[in-house]
Amino acid sequence: MGDHRAISALTKLLNFAGVRSSLLGSVAPRSANRAWASGLSSAWSSAAAKADGYTLLAGSMGSHVAAPVLTPSVRYDSERDFEPIGLTAHAPAVIVAKKDFPAKDLREFVDYLKTHGDDVKQAHGGMGSSSHMACLLFSAAAGVRPNQVAYRGTGPALNDLVGGHVDFFCDQAVSLAPQIAAGVIKAYGVSADKRLPVL
């Protein structure tokens, strides 16, 4: 199970794992991509599944770190209910804005947020999602407080950013690269120590 929209890196990883397992002659893989609640839906289903070794969850920071802290009603224990296999990817976040956002670079972007913060709408993929936490960290470091607009997943948030209904958003580089390359959104910065080749 994956906890992001169909184009996500986690979904691609799970699809690859399914292909590999079918080539090795094991049980035919089934995928359940649940794109909402920062991965809570997938984690709930996986935690409740029979512990027979046939359920694989590609969890994220949202589902296994933030959700148990931010969501008191979470129905699983991210340490007790899962057996970790390993880290599969490092996914730096990118700060992006709608294509007609007035700032030309990161410095102008921060200055704009400082002077117009009450009018700026920042989208995120749900409370505790990696997109939410990345933008919160950026906002705290920049000393700004934009209006938060929560979505049920990063897909709808990105759609509204492209449509110009919100002003900026933070998400994984691999998910945003096609829209950045197409010029439908602007990139201002990454949460990595160097420029990313995909951008």
Per-residue pLDDT of 21-60, as tens digits, reads: 555 555 655 666 655 555 677 788 888 888 887 787 877 7
What's the token pair of residue 96? 């992006």
User: What does the block give as tokens for 128?
Assistant: 């505790």
Confidence category of residue 2, pLDDT binned at 50, 70, 90: very low
Within the chain, residue ranges assigned H as helices are 9-23, 40-48, 61, 67-70, 106-116, 130-142, 154-162, 173-182
CATH, range 93-190: 3.40.190.10
Can you tell me the mean pLDDT for 130-148?
94
CA dihedral of 101, 141, 170, 94, whole degrees rounded to 10:
90
Q: Which amino acid is at 193?
A: D
Residue 28 per-residue DSSP state: P
pLDDT band at 63 (very low <50, low <70, confident <90, very high): confident
pLDDT band at 17 (very low <50, low <70, confident <90, very high): low
Using the 8-state DSSP alphabet, how is residue 39 labeled? G
Give the mean model confidence (pLDDT) for residues 110-131.
93
User: What was the pLDDT predicted at 37?
Assistant: 55
Q: Residue written as tokens 């949460």? A: 191
Q: Kindly list the domain boundaries of the chain, sorted by start residue.
A: 1-89, 93-190
Return the H-helix or E-strand segment holding 94: strand 93-98
Q: Is the pLDDT of residue 178 over 90?
A: yes
Task: Check if the beta carbon of residue 75 is closer than 8 Å to that of residue 155.
Answer: no
**What is the average per-residue pLDDT within 64-72?**
79
Structure pTM? 0.75
The predicted structure's pLDDT at residue 4: 43
Per DSSP, the three-state class of 186 is strand
